[in-house]
Structure 1
């Protein structure tokens, strides 16, 4: 004689987990919403700027004026009336914000001043004059 096992009693003993999961998710949402985000107090750090940026000028423009007043840029003789155009062409290929003017000691000052004015007009902010010591 075999005995029958009651399987229907085991089925009734299971617990439904859905309401418990709902409560856990509601609690999670509650804690996320009520959490206050505190800004940490401390010192602000001023970091130096990156010196390897591409918009930094690479080299300065070199302009030479001989004792006769002849202007030489990039190994070419340039007319005083065409200095702005030549500087703008140079700036299109080589972005820079400085120029160095090397004038002969017997050069007229008016030519040097005119070249400086044209360089500033062309968009160069820093113009320096090199002298012999």
Structure 2
């Protein structure tokens, strides 16, 4: 049932992000709603992924651990650690881009770091 809590948390994060996007559309001179929507809409999918990892672990327990390379709980642990690393990389890039946007500097380096974090987040899916 832990996965349900994580899904609800992800849904709330998505709602906050889209509300900030709507507010940003109404007032495009305010940087705060833009930053809020960027942060929340980047973080929200991680909650959905975490719920999938927990459910995947439960499926392995039901079907039979003998068919799995790792013990069921290790999938959750490994993938959540990978998600945390990607979120940290994305946060660093987002912070750099936000600082650059406030000082009217180029946001490309921060954006590239955020994209690297997103690519890292997608990469564990290729190995399962």
Q: Identify the TM-score tier after normalising by the shorter chain.
A: under 0.3
More helix by share: 2
TM-score of the superposition, structure 2-length normalised?
0.22
Q: Which protein is bigger by CA-based radius of gyration?
A: 1
More strand by share: 1
TM-score of the superposition, structure 1-length normalised?
0.21
